[in-house]
A = this chain, B = another copy of it.
């Protein structure tokens, strides 16, 4: 069997194996890794989770091992819908909710349901790198809109939509993470959110709002979600990966019921239904208030890690390096002086300083970001963050110095 000629064309678009490699790198015990966006396992209350799992076996019995409805375990959907009121300011009913096998499946189902080959998807620049793995499978065209310290620049978005209109085209979907953006660590203020949903609504373009980190805020809650501002025009995606644990592989979509019906059709051919056992564990855990307690502790833990990260950067950063200051979530986005190649620097940093991050170009559609990179402060033990940051900063300083010497011909 000659397998080389057999693969589908879309596989040529999936060359970037960054995430797979990252997860491997994160496993190397000698490297302090700021690479993979993993939650801190200290946020998983294992004893409480075990007790809930035992309750599920004892009280739900064999139903927890049987097939379940494609849209999700009804009691969990009801609980999610109800919780979106107080937590998100979103009024949702059970028919608005689809349970998914994590946030990635949620995005994949939306892509499958909406996107034809050649369709235009608006993404942020930089954006969540695994979003490329999702959308590229559907052979779409990306239009990237830069972010600043307040998230996606809606003025640039308006320009892009105008340009598309003049070319007789229109965007099919706007993908945005307005709160504690990955990788930017930035958050869109309320006024810009209003402009964004208004603009999308005038152009009749659905918004995929990625809400993965929004519950993990620090000093104060973020502004209302886009979904709260325009319930009918926003497909809201969130995940239990950061507020329970990624190993349970569950997330959800809040969308108008007509869209949920189509998403169910798509899900039937993706995995039929999400884990019944997992859904019942999350339901019991959430219903008993344990998730809300976990979130409170998680916020404090990640806030402390954010603080250590920013303090260490202030202390060790070489001149000319800048970074964002996240109010929640997992990420700081750094920009080095011009002329530094963050990809080449990464290999050097892993080898010489035993520290890892994700180089900037992985987050762009067009190869930009050479002098940028992402640090994830959520996973590394808090006592190691300071040392890790000093290693990162030494790596940058070394490359700035090397570049300086090369310039002056030394």
Is B62 within 8 A of A41, CB to CB?
Answer: yes
Cα(A30)–Cα(B109), bound, Å: 34
- Please, what's the 1-or-0 string for A191-203, where 1 marks a CB less than 8 Å from any CB in chain B? 0000000000100
Is B65 within 8 A of A248, CB to CB?
Answer: yes
Among B7, B62, B108, B245, the residue within 8 A (CB) of A271 is: B108
Is A67 within 8 A of B50, CB to CB?
Answer: no
In the assembled complex, A49 has its CB within 8 A of some CB on chain B: yes
Interface residues on A, range: 35 or more
Chain B residue contacts of A69, Cβ below 8 A? 20, 23-24
Is B11 within 8 A of A262, CB to CB?
Answer: yes
Among B117, B130, B262, B276, the residue within 8 A (CB) of A269 is: B130
- Please, what's the 1-or-0 string for A49-75, where 1 marks a CB less than 8 Å from any CB in chain B? 110011001100111111111100000
Chain B residue contacts of A230, Cβ below 8 A? 1
Among B112, B201, B232, B259, the residue within 8 A (CB) of A10 is: B112
In the assembled complex, A335 has its CB within 8 A of some CB on chain B: no
- Please, what's the 1-or-0 string for A113-127, where 1 marks a CB less than 8 Å from any CB in chain B? 111110100000000
Knowing A23-B69, A249-B274 are in contact, say whether A137-B269 is a contact too (CB < 8 A): yes
Chain B residue contacts of A9, Cβ below 8 A? 116
- Residues of chain A in range 176-215 having any CB-CB distance to chain B below 8 Å: 201, 204, 206
Chain B residue contacts of A115, Cβ below 8 A? 8
- Residues of chain A in range 134-170 having any CB-CB distance to chain B below 8 Å: 134-137
With both beta carbons as reference points, the residue of chain B lying nearest to A277 in the complex is identified as B247
In the assembled complex, A384 has its CB within 8 A of some CB on chain B: no
Cα(A256)–Cα(B270), bound, Å: 22
Among B41, B70, B206, B269, the residue within 8 A (CB) of A136 is: B269
Among B8, B64, B70, B241, the residue within 8 A (CB) of A114 is: B8
Cα(A112)–Cα(B42), bound, Å: 37
With both beta carbons as reference points, the residue of chain B lying nearest to A68 in the complex is identified as B247
Instruction: Tell me the minimal C-beta distance from A176 to chain B in angstroms.
Output: 16
Task: State the number of copies, please.
Answer: 2
Is A269 within 8 A of B67, CB to CB?
Answer: no
- Residues of chain A in range 1-18 having any CB-CB distance to chain B below 8 Å: 1-3, 6-11, 14, 17
Is A275 within 8 A of B258, CB to CB?
Answer: no
In the assembled complex, A172 has its CB within 8 A of some CB on chain B: yes
Cα(A39)–Cα(B246), bound, Å: 28
Is A247 within 8 A of B66, CB to CB?
Answer: yes
Is A46 within 8 A of B67, CB to CB?
Answer: no
Is B3 within 8 A of A259, CB to CB?
Answer: yes
Cα(A239)–Cα(B130), bound, Å: 27
- Residues of chain A in range 339-396 having any CB-CB distance to chain B below 8 Å: none
Chain B residue contacts of A113, Cβ below 8 A? 7-8, 11
| Listed A/B pairs (19) with beta-carbon separation below 8 Å | A3-B259, A20-B70, A24-B69, A46-B57, A46-B61, A46-B62, A50-B54, A54-B54, A65-B246, A67-B241, A101-B249, A102-B271, A104-B272, A108-B270, A130-B272, A245-B277, A247-B277, A248-B277, A249-B276
A residues engaging B (CB < 8 A)? 1-3, 6-11, 14, 17, 19-20, 23-24, 36, 38-39, 41-42, 44, 46, 49-50, 53-54, 57-58, 61-70, 101-102, 104-105, 108, 112-117, 119, 130, 133-137, 172, 201, 204, 206, 230, 232-233, 241, 244-249, 256, 258-259, 262, 264-266, 268-278
